[in-house]
Amino acid sequence: MTENNEVTENGTAPERKPSEQALQVVDRAVGAVPVVAERVRNAVDQLSKPETRDQELQTVQTQVNNLRNADARPAQVETFKQRLNADLERAEVKGADIRHQVTERVVDEARKARERVEPVYRERVEPTYKKRVEPTYRKRVEPVYRERVEPTVRRVRERI
């Protein structure tokens, strides 16, 4: 989670590096799925149990009435904003955890793949390279380099 989650009066966040902003967006997007799933699971649980169903429905009815009432609407909207911000922060934290786990897995898989490929490379590619490419390089590229590039580099250095 970022250290500075404050929002200015015009609704913009304080300046951050683009890389930090990108990570925050990714973390929130990735973390939103488990957070929303948890919210839905909790709501279904509340509505499934007879002992909590009435209370949950009463809460929803109160919220709807508050939104219809012009005097209570600003307070209800503020409550929804606070809940949304709290859920966004939870999503960001959860998303960062998931991103770190995925990164560790990818790095681990890359390491394993490298351990499988490197011996084959050393066994097959390096000998072929030394046998075919190096002689051709010495025969064709090095003379051109010595004739054209090195003198040009010497002239540039002399001018400097």
Per-domain residue ranges for the chain? 18-159
Q: Which amino acid is at 89?
A: E
Q: Report yes or no: 31 and 86 within 8 Å, Cβ to Cβ.
A: no
Residue 15: pLDDT band with limits 50, 70, 90: confident
- Per-residue pLDDT tens digits for 104-160: 999 999 999 999 999 999 999 999 988 999 999 889 999 999 999 999 999 999 998
Tokens linked to 67? 């939104």
Task: Compute the C-alpha angle 31/33/36, nearest 5°.
Answer: 105
Name the nearest CA neighbour of 76 among 85, 86, 66, 68: 66
pTM of this structure: 0.59
Q: Report yes or no: 123 and 63 within 8 Å, Cβ to Cβ.
A: no
Could you identify the residue written with the tokens 């580099």?
Answer: 153
- Per-residue pLDDT tens digits for 72-110: 999 999 999 999 999 999 999 999 999 999 999 999 999
- How many Cα atoms sit within 13 Å of 88 on the Cβ side? 11
